[in-house]
Amino acid sequence: MESRALTRAFGRARLLLATGLLTGLVACGGGGGGAAGTAPATGGNSNPPTSTSPAPANRAPLASASGGSNVQEGDTVRLDASQSSDPDGDTLRYRWSFQERPEGSAATLDGAESKQPSFVADKGGKYRIALVVSDGTLESSTTLELKANRQPKAAIKGPLGVLSGQTFALDGSASSDPDGDSLSYTWTLSQKPDGSKASLDASTGARVSLTPDIMGNYCFYLQVSDPNSGGRLSLPASHCVRLEERPLAKITAPASASSSTEVQLNGFFSVAEWGGIGGYTWRVVSAPARSEARMILPTSMRARLWVDLPGAYTVELVVKDMQGIYSLPVTTTIQVTASSQHPTTPVITLPVEPILATQEASLRVSALDPGNGTVSYVWRFADGTTGTGATLSRRFATPGQYAVTVTATNGLGLSSTVTTVVRVAEALTGGPQPACMGSRCGASSATRYSGSGVGIWTINNTSSHDQVLDLDIDNVGPGQSVVLLFANAGEQDSIPLPAYGVAPAPGATNAPQRTPAQAALPARTAIESVLVHRYHESTVETYLASRQARAIPAETRRRASSSSSSSTGGKPRPAPPLHSTREWTGALGEKVPYQTQVEASCQLANGRNIVFWIDSAGLLAGQIKLSQIDAMREFACGSDGAFARLTAIAGDFWGPHQDSTLISDDTLQDVNVVIGYPKEPIGAGGYYWIDAMRTKATNPNSNEAVALFLNMRDFANSTRHYLHSVLIHEATHAINGYQRLARRGVWHESWLEETSAMMGEDLVASALLKDEQGQPYSNVISMLRFFAADLSSKSYTRYLSALDGGNEKYIVGGSFGAFLNRRHGLQLFQYLINQCSDSSAGQSSYQCVDAAIRASGGNGFVDEFVRLYVSGKTPLSAGEAPAGYGWPLAQSDKIVLPEFDAAKPYFTNAGQENPEYVPSPLEKFERTTAIRIADNAPNGATRYRRMGIMLPPGMSLAVVIH
């Protein structure tokens, strides 16, 4: 700019100089020959002085900025300076810059020296941009302000389920706008059951309602907008409501009681539409101030309420049916009066941390006097030592369980007594040991993770007392996933709860100390506040809803029988003619007769007939097509069919025996597949009834035939391969019934009966059936998906102690059976059928499986059960599971056991809890109960540490890092 001004000044000086020189020359130049100093001659030629106007001054340009109307957070904003001008017509230069941006914004100008730059409004709020224009000499500036509108967020509140006939409301008023703008609402009914005519009462407004008309799911979207959004809608919020028939909870309890007693509570009269009641949960809703009322057996049909003080006690009961649908809570109130002036039963409080042998422990006790008087205490230990006072310090020389009795006495000399057991633990110097090997194993040593792969460490408390250990595993990165699996994998029916321990801060050398007031810290109560394992209705409706009622045992009583190993029967018999009829008695509910006719048959290699009997009523109702029967016959029959494969590995359906209460096989009994059409929906896809093989003299309702029952309703509502797999399940039950009960007088407990039937499905169906994607299929694969889907740290899973016919018998049993099939092959499955001596010679079904595993080269039930939970509850993907874990592909000859990837997210609602249900805490570990605790290495850590973990006798712990 300076050089251009100097050029102009120099030009003006040069002009003036030229003019001056010219004037001088005229004054001195000669005209005529006059002497010096004389005036020139008149009429001479003279030049007048010359005058020149100065050049015009440079004028400043005019800056003008525009752009950015209706800006939304995240938009690309284009700015425009094209309306800027220069009065001298000079070329302009542009310079843009931010003077103000919203907090946290990292926006930058793209083309900051161009006429039309742009930027991304990454944060909502005010942006102030400065524009400077220059003509090279002078410049001018202006500012542009714009506001990026932030997108509102939609939110829906509404019920998860309603009963038939109810109208429900959806509330979007919790939707929010970060700029405080008013909102407009747009509702969409995105899904409803086929045939439903239900519709929303409005499509706008903060609240809408709907009356469902057909059972199923009703799903909705809500989108919101604000006045500054330019018509744009927010991301949708979604919500689904299920129309369902809830079970009905009913409480039977006394209206009044005396203090310091147990009140009997009964949920027997609760009812469920589908398959009966599958679970009970009781809790204390309210009690008098200072009361320490507690529920005893809170998950059983008959619970007990301990009441200590006079006043009103309100208890609540929630029940669930066999499909996992929960009732609405019902309550009842019990008025309690003082039965005497005795103090309340003393409550003994033990230290938060485990009590270790030889270390001093502080024990406390408290009781209330109804007359508000003072209470004194006397302690008596089983070893004869005594003590007094509300607080007592005591050392225990050795680990074990110590009985202690405390008597509370008031000023009137009246007393109350309580006895409890103090658990004293042994401190372990060694922790879990590596439990994997091979290239995928990340457990370098007992105290080091390799940094890659899956590290697995396990420890079993085989002692008779509690053990306390500290975990300290090095080379674990910050945030590394850690899963702790606590399992009572033994046969002992109930053991105390473990203690989860505490995590010290990174770099700390000792475990942090906690006061009694910190007893509710999650580190300890992660287990004590555990929730009951359950499955969301929409997750299981495709399979479990049709399997729940198979609660009838495959055998109803033991009969003395022959120990002969031969299963060769008598002479073949002709198959019943096509369309011949027969009445069959079903086993579920009342002994319902089915009028059936033969629609297909075939013969096995040994001459035994397979006959398919179809319910005539179902045929007339169109519930089944003959093409479906043909497909099942093709699946089951033939030299390479499902029944031929199953009998080749498990044995024949019937044969010689010495039980006079059972039908003979002098002429080979047919295997009758009875496809019945129940009058009302039932939860069983199929079932097998050993009493159908009794003689009429023994059981008047007997069919006197080998019969497998299938539910015709499922032919209309399920995929073909599901029912074919069910057929193999029931066929395995039937073969078990003969090979164990009729021949050897042996029967399994119900959990093993179902597990072995699921193993039969896995071994046979997976090789013959394909799903819609062309992959190997069996119902066992569905069970594996349910087992691996629930990863909530607030749930525990039972196996042997689960309710008969309940979900876990199939889910855990099927997963365990599939795991054992892949680990041990046919040998173990055949052992269960032909060698187990459970129910005889004092052997339990648990001991039978333990012996079968050891006979197949394994380390027993405990080891395999822990491996199962490591595989499915970590979960391990198929590509990362070390040897001995997971469900890898296994095949030989005609058996194909497909690979299963436990880490695949099969269900979007896995691990979800029902917000309408407040579950009971886990009070004890029943046999084969396990819990998953998810954890992470803390930020800043280079190791994973957890101090003060307590394992009760019989408890196993697995630590998995990956």
How confident is the model at residue 235, as a pLDDT?
A: 87
Per-residue pLDDT at 919 exceeds 60: no
Higher-scoring residue by pLDDT: 894, 396: 396
Strand partners, 710: 675, 686
Contact by Cβ (8 Å): 580, 597: yes
Distances (CA, A) of 565 to 560, 562, 743, 834: 15, 9, 8, 9
Per-residue pLDDT at 82 exceeds 50: yes
Coil, helix or strand at residue 765: helix
Angle (nearest 5°) at CA 766 between 760 and 771: 135
The number of residues making up the chain comes to: 962
Report yes or no: 933 and 483 within 8 Å, Cβ to Cβ: yes
State both tokens at 781: 């694969």
* Greater model confidence, 767 or 231: 767
Helix axes 779-789, 720-736, angle to 10 degrees: 100
Fold of 161-243: Immunoglobulin-like (2.60.40)
Q: Which two tokens stand for residue 128?
A: 């102030």
| Residue 725, amino acid | S
Q: How far is CA 324 from the centre of its chain?
A: 15
Query: Which residues have a Cβ under 8 Å from the Cβ of 627 and sit 6 or more positions away?
Result: none
Provide the CATH topology of domain 347-426: Immunoglobulin-like (2.60.40)
Assess whether pLDDT exceeds 90 at residue 738. Answer: yes
Domains 66-148 and 161-243 share a fold: yes
The pLDDT assigned to 508 comes to: 57
66-148 maps to which CATH number? 2.60.40.10
CA distance 521 to 923: 18
| DSSP secondary structure letters along 31-86 | -SSPPTTSPPPTT---PPPP--PPPPPP---B---EE-TT-BTTPEEEEE-TT-B-
Distance CA 136, CA 59 (A): 11
The residues facing 316 across adjacent strands are 283, 331
Model confidence pLDDT, tens digit, residues 351-410: 877 899 988 999 999 988 877 788 999 999 998 899 999 999 999 999 988 999 999 998
Which pLDDT score is estimated for 26? 31
Domain boundaries, the chain: 66-148, 161-243, 256-337, 347-426, 428-511+520-530+926-961, 532-551+748-920, 555-745
877, 900 Cβ separation under 8 angstroms: no
**Of the given ranges (134-138, 547-551, 701-705), which has the lowest mean pLDDT?**
547-551
Q: Compute CA 111 distance to the chain's CA centroid, rounded to the nearest angstrom.
A: 50
Rg (CA), the chain: 42
Residue 15 — very low, low, confident or very high, per pLDDT cuts 50/70/90?
A: very low
Nearest to 581 by CA among 615, 546, 620, 540: 615
DSSP H or E segment with residue 14 = helix 2-28
Mean pLDDT taken over the chain: 81
CATH number for region 256-337: 2.60.40.10
Take residue 120 and report the two structure tokens written for it: 């991304």
What DSSP line would sit under 211-240, residue for residue?
A: ---SSEEEEEEEEEE-TTSTTPPPPPEEEE
Those residues whose C-beta lies under 8 Å from the C-beta of residue 599, and which sit 6 or more positions away, are: 578, 579, 612, 613, 614, 626, 629
Q: Report pLDDT digits (tens) over 355-370.
A: 999 889 999 999 888 7
| pLDDT number for residue 921 | 57
Most confident of 234-248, 334-348, 723-737: 723-737
Distance set, CA 387 to CA 360, 546, 600 (Å): 15, 60, 81
Which residue has tokens 């006072």? 389
**Can you name the residues that pair with 314 across neighbouring β-strands?**
286, 333
Residue 478 structure tokens = 């910050």
Is there a contact between 407 and 417 (Cβ–Cβ < 8 Å)? yes
What confidence category does residue 158 fall into, taking pLDDT thresholds of 50, 70 and 90?
very high
Mean pLDDT of 854-862: 94
CA dist 752 and 848 (Å) reads 10
The pLDDT assigned to 87 comes to: 93
Alpha-carbon distance 724 to 731, whole Å? 11
Q: Which two tokens stand for residue 236?
A: 């949708």
In tens, the pLDDT along 768-779 reads 998 878 888 888
Q: What is the predicted pLDDT for the residue at 507?
A: 61
Of 26-35, 149-158, 190-199, the poorest mean pLDDT is in 26-35
Write down the pLDDT at residue 553.
Answer: 31
Burial per residue of 217-238, b for 16 or more beta-carbon CB atoms within 10 angstroms, e otherwise: bbebbbbbbbebbeeebbeebe
